[in-house]
Structure 1
Amino acid sequence: MSKFKKKKSGELPPVSTAALPDIVFMLLFFFMTVTTFKKDDYKVAQDFPYADQVQKLDKNDPIIYIYAGKPHERYQKEVGAQAKIQLNDKFANVDEIKDYWFNTLNNDVGQEFRYVAITALKVDGETNMGLVADIKQQLREINALKINYTTRKGEASQNYK
């Protein structure tokens, strides 16, 4: 006469889900730390000229980017094939540079960095210098005199094809 009887049913015990939230949060934190976000969607060509005296900017420097170049093929029906200026993710006119520069300075960089902020011009190698001169003139008018040209490292003679 036994006091304990074994159940002889064929059921499996339920799967424990107690560790599931821990696993989900661990994966969430992993992907949050590993993922990088693309800052801008380039709508203009980005074939930079070569230069032999190149310096890298420090990632801690306050940088304001201005893109210029021939629009990609998918945008040429809208804006034409002439070189354009891109500010953030939209095409812009030369006279919009001042407002963009101050808005970026106030929102992203900080007003205290006004005199040390670097304006990085990412200009396609095929862009005419008239557009670049217009951009520089607008920057001169707001006293944004620290300008950096983005290039590729190589011999300057590679620019002549």
Structure 2
Amino acid sequence: MVISNMRENTLFVKVQVPQGSEIQKLEKKSLSSNIFVGPPMDEKKFGSAPRIQLNDQFAEISDIRAFIEAERAARDEVDVPFLTTTLKCDKDVKMGDISDIKQELRQVGALRIMYAASRRAKDTY
């Protein structure tokens, strides 16, 4: 038997998620839209400033509204209230950049937000 793991998006940004102690798994990953934020993989071409990736392309904060509306249109109407936006941000991204993204999500009515994190080792306190 052959098993393959298909990645939905090709990452163009480096994302090393922060660690957390109170982590929960998302029940339905199909009801999740991912926004990746981090420095570009190709820093020579795109610079070292953090960039936003929506699906398989770089985007600006103003593009988030159209992205969320397209994600809602692609889902069944019954599932739309349960859509969760997952922010997969590099641990070195400034909170001001994340706040700008959250503000845009708030304006479009995407209020269910989840931050991706990895489990912290128990002895790091």
Q: TM-score, normalised by structure 1?
A: 0.70
Give the ranges of 4+ consecutive aligned residues of structure 1 lying more than 6 Å apart after TM superposition: none
2:8 is matched with which residue?
Answer: 39
**Relative contact order, higher structure (CA 8 A, sep 6+):** 2
Deviations 1:56-89 (A, max 9, x none): 00135511110001111xx223321100100011
Gaps of 5+ in 1: 1-29
Higher Cα Rg: structure 1 or 2? 1
Task: Give the structure with the larger strand fraction.
Answer: 2
Contact 1:64 1:105 in 2 (8 A): no
Q: Aligned residue pairs: how many?
A: 124
Secondary structure class of the residue paired with 2:88: strand
Q: CA deviation at 1:118?
A: 0.5
Structure 1, residues 25-64: CA drift from partner, whole Å, max 9, x if none? xxxxx65xx3332211111112111110000001355111
The structure 2 residue matched to 1:89, chosen from 34, 37, 56, is 56
Counterpart-to-counterpart distance in 1, 2:82 and 2:7: 25
| Cα displacement string for residues 112-157 of structure 1 (whole angstroms, at most 9, x for unaligned residues) | 3222210000001010111101100000001111000000111599
SS of the residue corresponding to residue 56 of structure 1 reads coil
**C-alpha RMSD of matched pairs (Å):** 2.0
1:119 matched residue in structure 2: 85
Fraction of identical pairs, as percent = 28
The alignment partner of 2:85 has SS state of strand
SS at match of 1:66: strand
Give the TM-score normalised by structure 2: 0.88
* Counterpart AA for 1:59: K
C-alpha spacing 1:85/1:157, structure 2 compared with 1 (3 Å): farther
Structure 2's unaligned 5+ residue stretches are: none
